[in-house]
Copies of this chain bind each other. A is one copy, B any other.
Amino acid sequence: MALVISDMSISLDGYVTGPNDSRENPFGDGAGTLHDWIFGNPDEAERAIMQEALDNTGAVIMGRTSFDKCVDMWGENGPVAGVPIFVVTHHEPAERYPSAYTFVTDGVARAIELAKEAAGDKVVGLHGATVMQQALPLGLVDEVFVHIVPLLLGAGTPLFGSLGSAVTLERSDAIVGPSATHLRFRVVKTGG
């Protein structure tokens, strides 16, 4: 059964984008270096983290906000070539998009169900903050993988939003790379 993993680069103060993020400025102000470790990184251990994520991902879920900001940047294949993307949205867009993208209008739980079917034994990757914040309190996130980049943004989109109550995690891996600190956690307990 596919594991659902939130896998995101964040600043030390927890932002996935800086302020003023938009379709023209998808990373937001000051946040370009958040993703530097992914591209052309000479470090073997950090390259392996990225390659493993690409190899293991069987489906991607994202919110409409992330989709609108990132679709131009990603183009028709989406973030992971050959992998279906499920976009959680209130309304299907009027514009036509490549077939990699499926729009799900009945909520994040349904999107996760569809993505798990599509992913088979591979991982369902949650992209962006919104879907993670919706899915976590429902107990639908198995793991949280963060790549902590040495940067403070002070504003933007925080990965973790407000939660009804404390969530207990268990660190399952830690890779101290030259560009970021890569920490993987299992979600042990949500709520209560």
**Residues of A bordering B, CB below 8 Å:** 12-14, 18, 29-31, 136, 144, 146, 148, 150-155, 158-171, 174, 176, 181, 183, 185
Contact = CB atoms under 8 A, between A and B. Distances in A.
Contact of A185 (B18, B150, B159): B150
Contact of A13 (B14, B30, B168, B174): B14
Nearest to A170: B150
Nearest to A180: B171
A48 to B, nearest CB: 18
B18 A166 contact: yes
Contact of A152 (B29, B153, B160, B174): B160
Contact of A171 (B14, B146, B150): B150
Contacts of A171: 150, 176, 181
Contacts of A29: 165-166
15 contacts: A12-B183, A12-B185, A13-B158, A14-B14, A29-B165, A29-B166, A151-B166, A151-B169, A152-B160, A152-B167, A153-B163, A154-B161, A154-B166, A155-B162, A155-B163
- Please give the count of copies of this chain that the complex contains: 2
A82 to B, nearest CB: 32
A15 B152 CA distance: 15
Q: Among A31, A163, A167, A181, find the residue whose CB has the most chain B CB atoms closer than 10 A.
A: A167
A152 B144 CA distance: 11
The 10 A-B residue pairs with the shortest CB-CB distance in the complex, in nearest-first order: A154-B163, A30-B166, A13-B160, A150-B169, A152-B167, A174-B176, A14-B14, A154-B162, A150-B171, A155-B162
Contacts of A155: 162-163
A34 to B, nearest CB: 10
Contacts of A14: 13-14, 160
